[in-house]
Every structure is written in structure tokens, then in C-alpha cells.
Amino acid sequence: MSALVFFIVILFAFYLFYKTKYFRSSRPVEKKWLAAKSNIALGLFVSLFGINHIFFISQTTVTTIVSVIFIVYGAVFTWVGVKKYKHYLPFAAEEAENYNAQ
């Protein structure tokens, strides 16, 4: 079993974990923060899936094009998720403090 496949499965599990936490959360900023974390996991999952197909699946033009699209799409998704994560982190911490203080 390839190390890439292991990381792909782990990242998909993280995506499902954060999406489940997102739906169970009642705080609005925490939901946005969790959505950003799930975006990061999904973006890395898609990128690694594309990289895996480039290296381990038979090379045709269509496979290469689709793999490159997956890599680029996943990288953009990850980048946007990181930006959102950094933006919402202080607000989520403040919201958690206010929630715990009540």
C-alpha cells in the first residue's frame, strides 16, 4: 500500500470528521472555522488523489489532464481554506471564551 493512499484515506477521514463537527456546532463563527478546516482537508485530499494518479495509474493524455486539474483545484481549495482558517481563528477563540464565560 502506497504512502500516498494512506494519506488520502487519512485526509478523507479528517474531511468527514470536520464536516460532522460543522453540522453539530451551534456557534456561527466556529462553523465557519470548521468549514475552513474541512476545506483544507478536502483540498489536500483532491491534490494527493491527482498526484497518486499521475504516478501510479497508466499514463494517457486524459489521465494526465484530469490529474493536473485535480492537483490545481486541490491546491486552490487548500490555499483558500488556510486563508479562511487564519481569518476565523481569533474570532472562534473569542466566541469560545464568551460561550464558556456564560
pTM of the model: 0.89
The tally of domains found in the chain comes to 1
* Neighbouring residues of 56: CB distance < 8 A, sequence distance ≥ 6: 2, 4
Within its chain, how far is the Cα of 10 from the centroid? 11
Amino acid (one-letter) located at 22: Y
> What local confidence, expressed as pLDDT, does residue 100 receive?
75
Q: Which of 38, 33, 36 is nearest to 12 (CA)?
A: 38
Profile the chain (102 residues) by mean pLDDT over runs of 10 residues: 86 96 93 96 96 85 92 97 96 87 66
> What local confidence, expressed as pLDDT, does residue 102 receive?
65
Full residue range of the structural domain in which residue 28 is found: 3-101
